[in-house]
């Protein structure tokens, strides 16, 4: 729960952010060739080691490269199709472990001293405006990103017990009570 405090410096901060999975996997082709068979589609939940697709290697015509899931995860994007020619390094699929979600935001350098790893935050997503989700600051970037001439630091909050309501790409708001350690 967030309790209002009196001084401006101690006032809770509300920041806009986007949800994304804690673990995301970009699957790329390791060979030049043709997609022989695609075994998955968007939203398929695949176990670690499950066969995702096969590629006929153009350098070794009788060789088929089997591409398997790196972890148990859900297919969130498909960039390949059966019969498609692919080059080494080209994106084939994206997968994500939807069991752990983050809310990611950027804070200006002037606010950074008020944000610490382990700090409790409340998350509200636009899709569920009447529901709050508890979260904890998982990481605070050590290097700034310059956006329109202002230095910002990425802050990631791990969302607790969100019941799979929050999906990658959902926008929302992160409210955090300033860290007592910062004063």
What pLDDT, on a 0 to 100 scale, did the predictor assign at position 130? 92
Place of tokens 């972890």: 71
Q: What is the pLDDT of residues 5-41, one digit of tens each?
A: 233 566 788 889 999 999 999 999 999 999 999 999 9
pLDDT at 82 over 60: yes
Q: For the segment 117-140, what is each residue's pLDDT rounded down to a tens digit?
A: 999 999 999 899 899 999 999 999
Looking at residue 92, what DSSP letter applies? E
The residues, ordered by sequence, that sit 6+ positions from 178 with a Cβ below 8 Å of its Cβ are 9, 10, 11, 12, 13, 114
Residue 182 has pLDDT above 80, yes or no: no
Assess whether pLDDT exceeds 90 at residue 108: no
Q: What pLDDT, on a 0 to 100 scale, did the predictor assign at position 148?
A: 87
């Amino acid at each position: 729960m967030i309790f209002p405090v009196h001084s401006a410096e101690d006032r809770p901060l509300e920041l806009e952010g986007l949800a994304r999975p804690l673990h995301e996997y970009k699957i790329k082709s390791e060979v030049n060739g043709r997609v022989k068979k695609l075994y998955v589609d968007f939203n398929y939940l695949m176990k670690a080691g499950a066969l995702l697709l096969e590629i006929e290697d153009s350098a070794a015509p009788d060789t088929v490269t089997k591409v398997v899931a790196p972890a148990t995860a859900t297919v969130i994007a498909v960039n390949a199709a059966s019969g498609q020619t692919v080059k080494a390094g080209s994106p084939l699929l994206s997968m994500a472990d939807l069991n752990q979600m983050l809310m990611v935001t950027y804070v200006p350098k002037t606010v950074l001293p008020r944000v610490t790893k382990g700090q409790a935050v409340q998350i509200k997503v636009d899709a569920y405006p009447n529901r709050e989700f508890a979260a904890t600051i998982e990481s605070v970037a050590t290097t700034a990103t310059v956006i329109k001439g202002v230095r910002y630091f990425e802050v990631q909050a791990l969302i607790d017990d969100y019941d799979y309501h929050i999906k990658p790409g959902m926008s929302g708001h992160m409210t955090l009570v300033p860290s007592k350690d910062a004063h």
